Structures are given as C-alpha cells and as structure tokens.
Amino acid sequence: MLHLLYVLLATARSSLKAQRELALENLALRQQLAVVQRKTKRPKLSNADRAFWVALCRLWPDWQNALLIVKPETVIGWHRTGFKLYWTWKSRKRTGRPPIDPEIRTLIRRIVRENPTWGAPRVHSELLMQGR
C-alpha cells in the first residue's frame, strides 16, 4: 500500500515538471543504470562518467535529487579536481628556446657592430670557433 502511494506521488510530481527537467532526469537515471549494469562486482565510474556528472550539475539545478550511486559531494569534488587540473595545465611552464647568456649576447652585438657585412651564419661560425 505504501509503495503504491509512493508511485502515485512520484507520478504526480513528475507530471508537474517541465519537459526539459524530465529529459535531464531521465538521462541521469539512464546513465546511472548503465554504470550499475556493467559486468563488474562493484561498478567503477570512468572519467567519461565523471565528466557527465560534472557537466550535468552545471546544466541542471536539480541534479542532486536524481543522483543515486554517488554522493553529491563527490561530484562537486570531481568538479573541483577538474578545475585544479585545468589551471595547473594552463599555468605550466612553457618550453621553448633556452635563454642566452647575457655575456654571449654582448659578444654577438660586438661582432655584428665590428663586422656589418657578416650575416647570421658567419657570426654563428665565429662563435663556434671561439668555443661559445
């Protein structure tokens, strides 16, 4: 009897929701069902599953009510971890040409000033002959 009452209330509640809300809830429940149906003893969430929930929590304000297999705090933790990884990647040290010693820069400028007809290949070979 109690189960029947619960089903009736859930049906009434869902009929009052907007179509977008129902579609998102259906998508969330189907994703969880797919995770549970995996052929493992204890289903593990893949990175794609985590990304799905992070995206869903940004699109749908009521996402926590449809979440059954993990805690909402876990999804928020994934979001924070992704944010940290993004900014770690964004602020990484860029590789490129190694810095030139100021002493060698001064030497190159002096060679170019004293020999205005020399091009870069000749200046380079001169530096190699000097062992620099």
Residues 73 and 125 in one domain: no
Whether 5 maps to a domain, the answer reads no
Q: pLDDT digit string (tens) for 8-57?
A: 666 666 566 678 888 888 888 888 888 777 777 777 778 888 888 888 88
From CA 56, how far away is CA 23, in angstroms rounded? 12
Residues 34 and 81 in one domain: yes
Q: pLDDT digit string (tens) for 55-112?
A: 888 888 887 777 777 777 888 888 899 999 999 999 988 888 888 899 999 999 999 9
Domain that holds residue 29: 12-90
Residues 41 and 104 in one domain: no
Residues 84 and 117 in one domain: no
Find where tokens 């549970």 sit. Answer: 36
Residues 21 and 84 in one domain: yes
Calculate the dihedral angle through the C-alpha atoms of 89, 93, 95, 100, rounding to the nearest 10 degrees: 170
Whether 68 maps to a domain, the answer reads yes
Is residue 56 within 8 Å of residue 28, measured between CB atoms? yes
